[in-house]
């Protein structure tokens, strides 16, 4: 089966050819751990989780390695510790726990490896030493800087020249830099800041070197896919590439970037009051499945807008689908159209429209519904086979089922006494409420169809 992925590096959709046949290895830039993840952060997690699920489906669970780091050394963490008077390790531990819980609520699987930067300082130091030895980096006032102009291909990923990038970026000018574009790989730490001994004195790493060093340590000289949000393309990913290539590694084959998330058409920001964490939404009673479904309804390379309307519609759709799914016991594979859509550069909106098609099909043997259920599981919208335990299903089924059964038993009694008109009124009322009924001589079965509306049951007399 062919998977096609859009490669930022070549600016085209390409057939994915793994480096080692039948396997895939992927690195995705993970969070800096000082605060709850917001829903923008969650988009990248959900997108690459979907890719991970697709790769596992194609190559088998044991043949996919997925590394996502935790940046647990960073000036934002140091600032949070200073503000709150808390220990850095308390903040990072707590935030990592929150992140895993919140992303778990969105159905994100844990990657195969979740390295913490602070456990890879030795590997970073060794890569920095190598870059100095090869003339790609220099030491100045306790800092080590990467010499951007020593790497001719700098800017290729984003398709821009170094000069354009200088013009457009807020590059930090510092007296110890030979060139304003040069970036920090190591910087000195005062006694009150986290630091490690190094050939350049006590200090801490810059952000970019982390990913280069951890990717090399865990995935080796070259690997298949590198992912992240498109705000990371420059400078973070350009810098990762420059460091890794100049240290003599092939690095990533395919570069994938998700677009940003907005809220009600505006950039999410605390000052606009439209900033939410995933936890805020969960605490408001928005199911994790709904958040994930909304995220997957937009293709990852398009900007996505989080809106109340989408959230309400997603909830309605999932309630309907889950109710249908709890009623079938047939095991099935995900719909072929669903899997095909995902193989085409993770076309999740197409996959979802295929699922609407499955939900619309009236099939009394329940095959389409079972395929819909398997598709929901494949998309990570529901992880277990047991839909009945979802908040989107509970507290409702028994009452609805009791009501339908009561109405049907009234209908059979009315037929017994030849009150056909009243009996048929019940049947047409059920159909108008979206209940799909199949009757035998003296038995029946039913499904809640896609247009099922529980409130209409009350009107049936
Ligand atoms: P930050 O919170 O800016 O440190 O970003 C951490 C991660 O979240 C990065 O991978 C970003 O690409 C991603 N990210 C931040 N803001 C958004 C957003 N509005 N939409 C999508 N991804 C985002
Ligand atoms: Zn990175």
Question: In angstroms, rounded to a whole number, what is the distance separating the alpha carbons of residues 390 and 459?
Answer: 28
Rounded mean pLDDT of 116-130? 98
pLDDT tier, 457 (very low <50, low <70, confident <90, very high otherwise): confident
pLDDT value at 311 more than 90 = yes
More confident residue, 285 or 151: 151
Rounded mean pLDDT of 297-304? 98
Measured from the alpha carbon of residue 69, the closest ligand is 2
Q: Return phi, psi of residue 206, to 5°.
A: -75, 170
pLDDT value at 237 more than 90 = yes
pLDDT tier, 395 (very low <50, low <70, confident <90, very high otherwise): very low
Rounded mean pLDDT of 253-272? 94
Measured from the alpha carbon of residue 278, the closest ligand is 1
Indicate if ligand 1 lies below 6 Å from the C-beta of 31.
Answer: yes
- pLDDT tens for each residue of 63-103: 999 999 999 999 999 999 999 999 999 999 999 999 999 99
Asked whether 277 and 34 are in contact (CB, 8 A), the reply is no
Comparing CA positions, the residue from 191, 218, 216, 217 lying closest to residue 202 is 191
Write down the pLDDT at residue 373.
92
- pLDDT tens for each residue of 186-197: 999 999 999 999
pLDDT value at 54 more than 70 = yes
Nearest-atom index, ligand 1, CA of 229: 12
Write down the pLDDT at residue 381.
95
Indicate if ligand 1 lies below 6 Å from the C-beta of 261.
Answer: yes
Nearest-atom index, ligand 1, CA of 267: 19
pLDDT value at 456 more than 90 = no
pLDDT value at 235 more than 70 = yes
Rounded mean pLDDT of 433-442? 85
Asked whether 227 and 46 are in contact (CB, 8 A), the reply is no
- Residue with the nearest Cα to atom 12 of ligand 1? 229
Write down the pLDDT at residue 394.
55
Rounded mean pLDDT of 238-258? 98
Q: Which of 333-347, 405-419, 428-442 has the highest mean pLDDT?
A: 333-347
**What pTM, to 2 d.p., does this model score?**
0.86
Note if the bond before 70 is cis, omega within 30 degrees: no
58 CA → ligand 1 middle, Å = 28
Residue 201: other Cβ atoms inside 10 A:
14
Rounded mean pLDDT of 263-283? 91
Indicate if ligand 1 lies below 6 Å from the C-beta of 40.
Answer: yes
Question: In angstroms, rounded to a whole number, what is the distance separating the alpha carbons of residues 127 and 188?
Answer: 17
pLDDT value at 316 more than 80 = yes
More confident residue, 395 or 199: 199
More confident residue, 9 or 384: 9
- pLDDT tens for each residue of 404-422: 989 999 999 999 999 999 9
Write down the pLDDT at residue 366.
76
pLDDT value at 396 more than 70 = no
Measured from the alpha carbon of residue 48, the closest ligand is 1
More confident residue, 213 or 361: 213
Indicate if ligand 1 lies below 6 Å from the C-beta of 237.
Answer: no
Nearest-atom index, ligand 1, CA of 231: 12
Q: Among 42-51, 258-267, 309-318, 447-456, which stretch is predicted with the lowest mean pLDDT?
A: 447-456
236 CA → ligand 2 middle, Å = 6
Comparing CA positions, the residue from 199, 30, 6 lying closest to residue 100 is 30
Question: Burial letters for 358-384: b for 16+ Cβ neighbours within 10 Å, e otherwise?
Answer: bbeeeeeebebbbbbbbbbbbbbbbee
Rounded mean pLDDT of 241-252? 98
Nearest-atom index, ligand 1, CA of 268: 19
Question: In angstroms, rounded to a whole number, what is the distance separating the alpha carbons of residues 434 and 147?
Answer: 67
Indicate if ligand 1 lies below 6 Å from the C-beta of 32.
Answer: yes
pLDDT value at 6 more than 80 = yes
Question: In angstroms, rounded to a whole number, what is the distance separating the alpha carbons of residues 297 and 85?
Answer: 42
pLDDT tier, 232 (very low <50, low <70, confident <90, very high otherwise): very high
Indicate if ligand 1 lies below 6 Å from the C-beta of 260.
Answer: yes
Question: In angstroms, rounded to a whole number, what is the distance separating the alpha carbons of residues 82 and 90?
Answer: 13
Element (H, E) at 119: none
Indicate if ligand 1 lies below 6 Å from the C-beta of 235.
Answer: no
Residue 73: other Cβ atoms inside 10 A:
26
- Residue with the nearest Cα to atom 5 of ligand 1? 41
40 CA → ligand 1 middle, Å = 5
Average pLDDT of the chain is 92
Pocket test for ligand 1, best of 30, 210, 231 (most atoms within 8 A of CB): 231
Write down the pLDDT at residue 82.
95
382 CA → ligand 1 middle, Å = 25
More confident residue, 208 or 389: 208
- Residue with the nearest Cα to atom 16 of ligand 1? 40
Nearest-atom index, ligand 1, CA of 37: 2
Measured from the alpha carbon of residue 274, the closest ligand is 1
Rounded mean pLDDT of 241-255? 98
Got the DSSP string for 235-295? IIIHHHHHHHHHTT--EEEEEEEEPPEEETTEE--TTTT---BHHHHHHTT--HHHHHHHH
- Lookup: tokens for 359: 């939900």
**For a pLDDT cut of 90, what percent of the chain falls above it?**
77
- pLDDT tens for each residue of 146-173: 999 999 999 999 988 888 877 776 677 7
**Environment class of residue 113 by beta-carbon count within 10 Å: exposed (0-12), middle (13-18) or buried (19+)?**
middle
Q: Among 164-178, 220-234, 292-306, 338-352, which stretch is predicted with the lowest mean pLDDT?
A: 164-178
- Lookup: tokens for 459: 């009107």
Indicate if ligand 1 lies below 6 Å from the C-beta of 233.
Answer: no
Q: How far is CA 31 from the centre of its chain?
A: 12
Comparing CA positions, the residue from 64, 73, 71, 57 lying closest to residue 111 is 64
Rounded mean pLDDT of 372-388? 83
Write down the pLDDT at residue 385.
55
Nearest-atom index, ligand 1, CA of 261: 20
């Amino acid at each position: 089966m062919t998977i096609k992925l859009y490669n930022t590096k070549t600016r085209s959709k390409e057939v994915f050819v793994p480096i080692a046949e039948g396997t895939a290895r992927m690195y995705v830039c993970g969070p800096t751990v000082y605060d709850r993840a917001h829903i923008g952060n969650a988009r990248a997690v959900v997108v690459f989780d979907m890719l991970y699920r697709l790769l596992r489906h194609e190559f088998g669970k044991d043949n996919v390695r997925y590394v996502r780091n935790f940046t647990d050394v960073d000036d934002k963490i140091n600032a949070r510790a200073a503000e709150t008077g808390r220990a850095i390790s308390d903040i990072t531990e707590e935030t990592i726990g929150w992140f895993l819980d919140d992303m778990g609520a969105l159905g994100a699987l844990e990657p195969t490896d979740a390295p913490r930067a602070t456990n890879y300082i030795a590997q970073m130091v060794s890569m920095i030493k190598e870059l100095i030895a090869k003339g790609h980096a220099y030491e100045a006032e306790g800092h080590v800087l990467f010499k951007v102009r020593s790497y001719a291909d700098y800017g290729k990923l984003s398709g821009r020249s170094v000069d354009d990038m200088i013009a457009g970026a807020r590059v930090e000018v510092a007296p110890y830099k030979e060139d304003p574009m040069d970036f920090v790989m190591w910087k000195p730490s005062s006694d009150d800041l986290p630091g490690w001994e190094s050939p350049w004195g006590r200090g801490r790493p810059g952000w970019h070197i982390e990913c280069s060093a951890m990717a090399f340590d865990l995935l080796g000289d070259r690997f298949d896919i590198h992912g992240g949000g498109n705000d990371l393309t420059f400078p973070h990913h350009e810098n990762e590439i420059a460091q890794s290539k100049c240290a003599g590694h092939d690095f990533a084959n395919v570069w994938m970037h998700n677009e940003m998330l907005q809220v009600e058409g505006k950039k999410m920001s605390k000052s606009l009051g439209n900033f939410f964490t995933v936890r805020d939404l969960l605490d408001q009673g928005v199911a994790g499945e709904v958040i994930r479904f909304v995220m997957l309804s937009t293709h990852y390379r398009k900007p996505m807008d989080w809106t109340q309307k989408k959230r309400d519609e997603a909830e309605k759709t999932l309630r309907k689908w889950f109710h249908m799914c709890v009623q079938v016991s047939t095991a099935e594979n995900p719909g072929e159209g669903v899997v095909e859509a995902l193989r085409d550069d993770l076309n999740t909106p197409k996959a979802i429209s295929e699922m609407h098609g499955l939900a619309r099909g009236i099939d009394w043997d329940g095959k389409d519904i079972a395929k819909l259920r398997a598709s929901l599981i494949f998309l990570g919208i529901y992880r277990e086979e047991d839909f009945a335990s979802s908040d989107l299903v509970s507290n409702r089924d028994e009452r609805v089922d009791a009501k339908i059964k009561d109405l049907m038993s009234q209908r059979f009694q009315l037929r017994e006494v030849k009150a056909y008109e009243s009996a048929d009124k019940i049947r047409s009322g059920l159909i108008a409420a979206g209940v799909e009924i199949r009757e035998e001589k003296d038995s029946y079965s039913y499904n809640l169809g896609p247009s099922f509306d529980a409130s209409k049951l009350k009107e049936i007399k």
